[in-house]
Homo-oligomer: A and B are copies of this chain.
Amino acid sequence: MAKELVFGHQSPDTDAIVAAKAFSYLQNQLGFDTEAVALGEPNEETQFVLNYFDEPAPRVIEKAGSEVNAVMLVDHNEHQQSVADIDDVAVTHVVDHHRIANFETASPLYYRAEPVGCTSTILTKLFDENKIEIPTQLAGLMLSAIISDTLLLKSPTTTDDDKAAVIALAEIADIDYQSYGLEELKAGTNLSAKTEAELVQQDAKSFEMGGKTVRIDQINTVDLDEVFARQAKLEAAMAAEAQANGYDLFLVLVTNILDSNSRLLVWGEPTAAVEKAFNTTLTNHTADLPGVVSRKKQVVPPLQDAF
């Protein structure tokens, strides 16, 4: 069987990196020949996780078609979030927890999506269904991915399946997930060392809505005001990114992981769609979104509806 690459989305977060490693491991156990790779370097939270469990970061690739004819996607499916030459290779497997859009294949494939909080939760089930044991370190990584995606099981995306997976994985990894989880999330909020250009793209994804390209980034913090003290420079960085890449509308969702509230920073047009989506009025390009922490569940669907 020819080798395939396994990878998550661009601007990878912990789940994108970890799910690639986990699915690659599982598929290799099942007889496939795969390698987990990534579409970018690990962010600070992911680096903390990899260091903690003494696991290497996956190799970063720019293109897939020069190495393989077929790939497996985790934690994404939309082509604009995938490898640059995704249209030149066959997608044989997808494991994901997002909506399906801008995705098309010529042949039947394996596709497993569930509306749960994290791809690693689905992968935990897949190991179980296939009766493959999860190695200790990998369990620690998968646990970390669920903590990251669900903000320690507090995001509204959290399901009973995520909770069950966290408990099972914490037992395999022999970790107190509450104290470890807070430490992990805080590792991702050390923003002072980052430039504004880094902040607005570190967790950014593109979406096509009503013919417009909408870029949505999320920044986790323990202090909203600390981030908004840099608002002017953040807006300049958003404008530069948008003009370089053709984004029409750029949203940065700044989320306080301690109290689960967010403030939105908006660049570009149509701002009317943003105001309609969240039933709010922008003040100085910002809007408070109390209780909003999930881009996938609380930002993309209302915005899509507004467009």
Contact = CB atoms under 8 A, between A and B. Distances in A.
Given A100-B100, A129-B129, A107 B115 contact: yes
A285 interface: no
B100 A110 contact: no
Interface in A87-111: 92, 97-111
A306 to B, nearest CB: 11
As for how many copies of this chain the complex holds, the number is 2
Nearest to A300: B106
A110 B98 CA distance: 10
A113 interface: yes
B108 A98 contact: yes
A212 interface: no
A97 B108 contact: yes
A304 interface: yes
A106 B106 CA distance: 23
Interface in A287-307: 296-297, 300-301, 304-305
A66 B176 CA distance: 50
B296 A108 contact: yes
A118 to B, nearest CB: 11
Contacts of A98: 108
Nearest to A157: B108
A129 B161 CA distance: 15
B100 A111 contact: yes
Contacts of A112: 111-113
A92 B114 CA distance: 10
B109 A105 contact: no
A96 to B, nearest CB: 8
B99 A109 contact: yes
Contacts of A103: 100, 103
Contacts of A102: 104
A199 B115 CA distance: 40
Contacts of A108: 97-99, 113-115, 296-297
A99 B105 contact: yes
A128 to B, nearest CB: 9
A110 B160 CA distance: 15
A102 B102 CA distance: 8
A97 B109 CA distance: 8
Nearest to A78: B104
A121 to B, nearest CB: 12
Ranked 7 nearest A-B pairs via Cβ: A111-B113, A108-B115, A101-B104, A99-B105, A106-B304, A106-B301, A107-B301
Interface of A: 92, 97-115, 129, 296-297, 300-301, 304-305
12 contacts: A98-B108, A99-B105, A106-B300, A106-B301, A106-B305, A107-B297, A108-B297, A109-B115, A110-B114, A111-B113, A111-B114, A112-B113
